[in-house]
Amino acid sequence: MGTLYLDRRDLTLRVDGKRLVIEEPDVRPRGVPLALLERVVMQGQVRFDSGVLAVLAEQGASLVCLSARHSRRTALLLGPGHGDARRRLAQYQLAFEPAARLALARGLIAGKLAAQIRLLEAAQARRPDARKPLHDGIQTLRGLQATLPEAMNRDAVLGVEGAGAAAYYAAFAELFAPSLAFAGRNRRPPRDPVNACLSLGYTLLHFEAVRAAYGAGLDPLLGFYHEPAYGRESLACDLIEPLRPRLDGWVWGLFRERRLRVEDFVMDKGACLLTKEGRQTFYAGYELWVSPLRRYLRRESYRLAHWLQQWTPALAESGNDES
């Protein structure tokens, strides 16, 4: 199973032996073997006690809670992480090495630009009617690729990314029907169906990155391209940066294949929200799509952790002495 999505009213969770039991009014209780759970995504009103959290943590399963209406993350539970504290010490030390941070930042944005170009190139074959704006976006992004090695500080890299985002979204917006009213990225709240899906997708992908970084023994709060910010897992933001265009392409597919339509969204005080039926379609598709990216995030997190160890000061192995 891997992931359990809970998105109904009046659900109650309890643990029965080695099963997580899900109860709701007028429906026969159903159980999920705890051994199969890696992550739980809750949205809406779900009742449970601290014993459920303890068992999930012991099992190594992660839990993310999303707000009932706006799909914003409200809580996060992570199971046991990697036990080698030297990895975090190395991460903290590297935070004060501008040259090394710059190299990592360039690599992330180079990957993002390349992924944006690949998506727009693939779109050209499907949408010859949008060939001109897609071509213009690709040419601008290729020009920015060439300037990236000349970015001598983080602000310069930010400038390249910002210019790339403007060119990319101007082209990407041409792929959607006018009825979707998508003209570029907006959030907090998202104001159209495409942005509603992008926001939810980025939230879920960010959760995967937090989980991967934590499991590799890294501090998800301390990034290298994204500056530390209160309450933000900046390293997770770094990790998903090159993956954002891949999620964009998947969201485009949801609308292109008419798996999601305008009727699957409602407006609430200026915010565009997925309906319950729309979320079910979204979650089912996301779970099929995200598997290789989960493996990518785990692999990249461990690769970063091993690379960071060159910065680690020599530490005596003290065992597990808690006296």
Longest CA–CA span in the chain (Å) reads 71
The pLDDT-based confidence of 315 (bands split at 50, 70, 90) is very low
More confident residue, 305 or 309: 305
The pLDDT tens digits for 233-272 are 999 999 999 999 999 999 999 999 999 999 999 998 888 9
How far is residue 247's CA from residue 197's CA, in Å, rounded to a whole number? 10
The pLDDT, as a whole number, for residue 296 is 95
Q: b/e string for 80-117 if b means 16 or more Cβ within 10 A?
A: ebbebebbbbbbeebbeeeebbbebbbbbbbebbebbb
The pLDDT tens digits for 148-160 are 999 999 999 999 9
The pLDDT, as a whole number, for residue 312 is 58
Q: Supply 45's token pair.
A: 């009103």
> Which residues are CB-neighbours of 166 under 8 A, at least 6 positions away?
none
The pLDDT-based confidence of 214 (bands split at 50, 70, 90) is very high
More confident residue, 46 or 213: 213
How far is residue 162's CA from residue 153's CA, in Å, rounded to a whole number? 14
Q: What is the C-alpha end-to-end distance of the chain, expressed in Å?
A: 41
Q: Please give the full DSSP string across 204-249, using - where no structure is assigned.
A: HHHHHHHHHHHHTT--TT--SSSPPBTTB-HHHHHHHGGGHHHHHH
Cite the residue boundaries of each domain of the chain with CATH code 3.100.10.20. 2-77
Tell me what the mean pLDDT of segment 275-291 comes to.
Answer: 93
Q: For the domain 86-113+177-311, what is the CATH superfamily, name and number?
A: CRISPR-associated endonuclease Cas1, C-terminal domain (1.20.120.920)
Cite the residue boundaries of each domain of the chain with CATH code 1.20.120.920. 86-113+177-311
How far is residue 304's CA from residue 49's CA, in Å, rounded to a whole number? 36
- Assess if CATH 3.20.20.70 describes domain 2-77: no
The pLDDT, as a whole number, for residue 1 is 54
